[in-house]
Structure 1
Amino acid sequence: MIRLICLGLFLLYSLGVSAQYTPPLRGPLLVTGTFGELRSDHFHGGLDFRAAVGTPVYAVQEGYVSRIRVSGGGYGQAVYIDHPDGKRSVYGHLEVLAPAYRDTIRALQYAGESFEIDLRPDSLAFPVRQGQQIGGVGNRGFSFGPHLHFEIRESATDAPLNPLSLGFAVPDTRSPQLRKLRVYSLDARDHPVAETEYDLLDGSLPDTVRVSHDRVGLGFQAFDRQNAMPNRNGIYAAALHINERKTFSFVYDRIAYEDTEYLNALTDYSAWKQRSSWYYLLYARTPDAVFWRDTTQSLLTEDGIQELLPGEPVTVTVSVRDFAGNTSHKEFILLYTPDTAAPIALRAPPPYTYDLPAGEPSVIDTGGMRLELPAQALYDDLYFAYTRLRDTSTNYLSDAHRLHDVYTPLHGRARLSLSPREPVPVELQQRVYLARCGKDGTYRSVGGAWEGEQLVSSIGSFGTYALLLDTVPPTVRIERFRTDLRRAAGFSLLLEEAAGGTLSYRGTVDGTWVLLEYDAKSGRLSHTFEPGEIAAGQHTFLLSVTDARGNERTFTRGFRR
């Protein structure tokens, strides 16, 4: 009897562990984005599941709602649920919320006269059962197609974990595809001074790869696919073996937010910026990225850079795998031959103005421009090029300051201060902003605040910056707004702001505030009529939109209900 009881408890425990979490969607899980997938300046923090708008979304485990966030960007409408085991699940881009959540959010929106809400209720407000519907799939926020963005995090640290670790059934018998290999020649600072690329699909990779430089790093391009979808998703893990010894590896199980930008240290940032092509590096550009490595290899000390001896071949194996365990690999010989018949033409260091060390704070002050870089801003020592360009174009209040180039990553934020050519009248100072200038003459605001006679802001990338004057109000265009709305479900407008930056807005009907939902990716401002909200008859809608420089536009339209 005791043996039967113990066996029963063991079976219950085993079943409980395997079925602890249930999927957030019913039916097949169609993965269109994987955890750790490479995105601009960050790793993808969850899984994307394709589904039609309105598809029910369910809580994956019991717990309580710890946060409901509504915004025009980001995840749009998102629900956060904390679970008893110390994990937190996140459901993003929801089109609709469960009635209890929606009613609470609506009440807060009308009470505060604000569309954007960040509600953090206590643990007793919204208890959740496993499998309880919490909303429906949508396309809100920075989503570019209907899907559910699902995350699982550590509650204590908010660090994202790989959701596939929850045991969701995602059929996957397809191995990742290794597509291209890059061999980088590195100088003493570990700067790439040349690279050779091989297409792994057409057989162009020779059995022996000859290099004319004694320090090399490797990179590759790869993607993964699950059985049910054609999407080219990110891989789960990779490893580099030299003569059968693992010298570098990574696994995407946990990526804390404070580490996510190190993506730029372990990918070919220049290739991404120039051609939107992602290459994983099999060497670390900075020791600060050691978190990246496979945690099962805690004694691994190599940084992935290969120091070769003349005439001594080494066997290289590059392997990649997905979460299901499907693996692909490529093996070849790497041989350093200094007297090779066709040596690689190494790039000489470009002209530079300053030699900036990595790992130390740096300050460049030219009088009209001051750039302050924190200690971790650079992954390696940098020959920094600075150019001041005279620009008298309309609305330019300063020269353009070219800070190195856009192909070199800047980790975190730097502080940039610019001076105008002439003092700015007090009445115009609010209209001045620090702009990042594009190649095609476009420019985008990075904000700024006056500190004495300089405008100061933080920047997240190198490039060309200048002070611009903006006295043009945002534009308002009708998308769907008839004068007869008796049978309409609502109306919508489109907002445009050439310089970028945040917009504030307020809409009223006959002087009473109305809820306008904003979609940042499209600039759409929409209102959906609620039962009994606006009585039958003739009404007047008034909208005021203000940009970050204080320029205001008003829009008025009469309509009938």
Structure 2
Amino acid sequence: MRQPTRRQDYKITLLFLLLLTLPLSAQDLDYRAPLNGPLLVTGTFGELRSDHFHAGLDFRASTNTPVYNVAEGYVSRIVVSPGGYGQAVYVDHPDGHRSVYAHLETLRPELLDTVRARQFAEEKFRQDLRFDSTAFPLQQGEQIGGVGNRGHSFGSHLHFEMRDAKTDAALNPLDFGFSIPDTRAPQIRNLRVYELDNHGLETHIQTFKIAESRGKYRAPDTIVVGSPRIGLALKAYDRQNAMPNWNGIYGGELYADTTRIFDFRFGRIPFEETEYLNALTDYEEWNKNTSWYHRFWALTQDAMFLETAMDKTYDGSLRLLPNRPLPVRMLVNDQAGNVSGITFALVYRPQERAPQPRPHQYFLPAGERSIIDNGAMRLELDADALYRDLFFRYAQLPDASAGHLSHTHQLHDPLTPLHGHGKLSIRPDQHIADSLRDHVFLGKCQPDGQWSGNGGNWTDDGRFRANVYSFGDYALFLDTIPPQVAINYFATDLRRGAGFSLLITDNVQGALQYRGTINGEWVLLEYDIKNDKLTYNFKDGDPGPGQHRFAIEVTDRQGNSTVWERSFRR
């Protein structure tokens, strides 16, 4: 038999090396569950949340339940923060995917030691650490840490994600073969029918409660509408077998007669697209009544990023002919393939209706950059800030309340979504001393009557500018009130104590900066922003027996500071 030539040998070697560097397919790695035992799902991928789709699965588990690496790989990132994911570990896998484990209470020892070393070196609790493949390689099934309730979490659970490592887009973890028994079909609760004008704005809304009998759902046989253009929406939920929680659905389909008009599936959600949830749900209903509806049409074509089998150039709204019934079928499904649906007919009956008045001061077309500037207020919106044309209402209200430095500027209303952010500049209506200029902030009125801070800075023309993320009532305020420090648990005799905890609060909403010391040396205080709580553990640095002096300085965004001290015995 002829032996391979040196050139052929080189080609074979090169091909072998290339094969080694190619990413594996999703099927080449056998993923295990991140927890042992039954997976109790309390939140599904794509579930509707305020301003974003849920990017993973939530698994209920008690604090410190072991969390395991789902496949071979390496720790690529560790994030520690007072909000968000709290304490999270990111693992990159050789098939091009990334798994994320969030809200962890504990970390495996070598990871915790690395985090602590960086925190003490930088004298800072918040961390975002990145690693290459040599630092912390992991085999499948190795423990990463323990379940917790850190960050923006309101009950002990594991938030688990799968991502595309190249783009960091979130992927549905249920597509990776985790065993979660699910024979329950989604539940359909309500149908909404929206009559639309030529701007795509609602002129009339009908809501129908959907009847259910033995797993079958029934809508009204015929729904009469007074507009030739219609949008439809469903309130629907899903459940897995092991839990009673009403979770989010996986997808939906809309058929007009026998033609599929609109469909969506929650399989992949790029984080930069997640705010388009507000164009695919009834934003006003959510903000008024905390009630979620999936729109089966999109308010803007830019929102058509979800996985779909349809032509993304069509928005999904229906066009009706006068007095001609249109058969409609709407389906919702879960990832396990269970399906629920309703059928009905829409009939357009032309009616003599007076045009719906839309009082406004400015007309802002969607898809175009808009600037409103009346001298006292300047609002700048990018071309993608609006999903639909907006009849923008504006009012300027005098306000001489204590701390107010400007009139209140009513920017439309908070029931209309603003995509991304706008830039708002407001001119004060009184002289501000140089010594107080750093204490000014742009505030928004909250539903409870309190004002939240948006930060901001001074412009060359004497106005104060900040980014705003929603419409509503805004004004300039002066904040000279320092934060407050209170004892949560801090005995003067801590000889048998594990540590102590404090509560830090401010009159303006927002994260606070702080620095704590014992006997003049920096100490690690873990910050839980949802509870305004700082916690010190002696295991992270015991000063030893004797009398000691703890001191902390807390500073808000306007530079107001409080120094608080207490002696204790160890």
Deviation at 1:454, TM superposition (A): 1.1
Aligned to 2:264: 250
User: How do 1:352-501 residues align onto structure 2 when only pairs under 5 Å count?
Assistant: 352-452=360-460, 453-501=462-510
Aligned to 1:348: 356
Q: Distance in 2 between matches of 1:506 and 1:286?
A: 46
Q: Is the 8 A contact 1:198 1:204 kept in 2?
A: no
Q: Is the 8 A contact 1:109 1:116 kept in 2?
A: yes
Aligned to 1:3: none
Deviation at 1:284, TM superposition (A): 1.2
Aligned to 2:58: 48
TM (norm. structure 1) is 0.94
Structure 2 SS opposite 1:479: strand
Q: Is the 8 A contact 1:265 1:285 kept in 2?
A: yes
Aligned to 1:234: 248
Aligned to 1:132: 142
Deviation at 1:204, TM superposition (A): 8.2
Deviation at 1:533, TM superposition (A): 2.1
1:455 maps to amino acid: F
Structure 1 SS opposite 2:305: helix
The change in CA–CA distance for 1:532 and 1:276 in structure 2 (over 3 A counts) is closer
Moved more, 241-250 or 194-203: 194-203
CA RMSD, Structure 1 to Structure 2 (Å): 1.7
1:139 maps to amino acid: N
Structure 1 residue 526 corresponds to structure 2 residue 535:
yes
Q: Is the 8 A contact 2:262 2:316 kept in 1?
A: yes
Deviation at 1:391, TM superposition (A): 0.5
- Between Structure 1 and Structure 2, how many residues are aligned? 542
Q: Is the 8 A contact 1:369 1:419 kept in 2?
A: yes
User: How do 1:327-342 residues align onto structure 2 when only pairs under 5 Å count?
Assistant: 327-338=339-350
Q: Distance in 1 between matches of 2:366 and 2:468?
A: 18
Q: Is the 8 A contact 2:87 2:104 kept in 1?
A: yes
User: How do 1:70-469 residues align onto structure 2 when only pairs under 5 Å count?
Assistant: 70-201=80-211, 205-294=219-308, 296-297=309-310, 299=311, 301-338=313-350, 348-452=356-460, 453-469=462-478
Deviation at 1:292, TM superposition (A): 2.5
Q: Percent identity?
A: 54
Structure 1 SS opposite 2:64: coil
Deviation at 1:346, TM superposition (A): 7.3
Aligned to 2:17: none
Structure 2 SS opposite 1:420: coil
1:546 maps to amino acid: T
Aligned to 1:12: none
Moved more, 321-330 or 112-121: 112-121
Q: Distance in 2 between matches of 1:199 and 1:396?
A: 46
Structure 1 residue 69 corresponds to structure 2 residue 118:
no
Structure 2 SS opposite 1:69: strand
Deviation at 1:437, TM superposition (A): 1.1
Deviation at 1:387, TM superposition (A): 0.5
The change in CA–CA distance for 1:163 and 1:531 in structure 2 (over 3 A counts) is closer
Q: Which runs of 5+ in 2 are unaligned?
A: 1-24
Deviation at 1:213, TM superposition (A): 1.5
Q: Is the 8 A contact 1:193 1:346 kept in 2?
A: no
Q: Distance in 2 between matches of 1:306 and 1:193?
A: 15
Structure 2 SS opposite 1:396: coil
Q: Which runs of 5+ in 1 are unaligned?
A: 1-14
Q: Distance in 2 between matches of 1:307 and 1:313?
A: 11
Q: Is the 8 A contact 2:551 2:566 kept in 1?
A: yes
Aligned to 1:17: 27
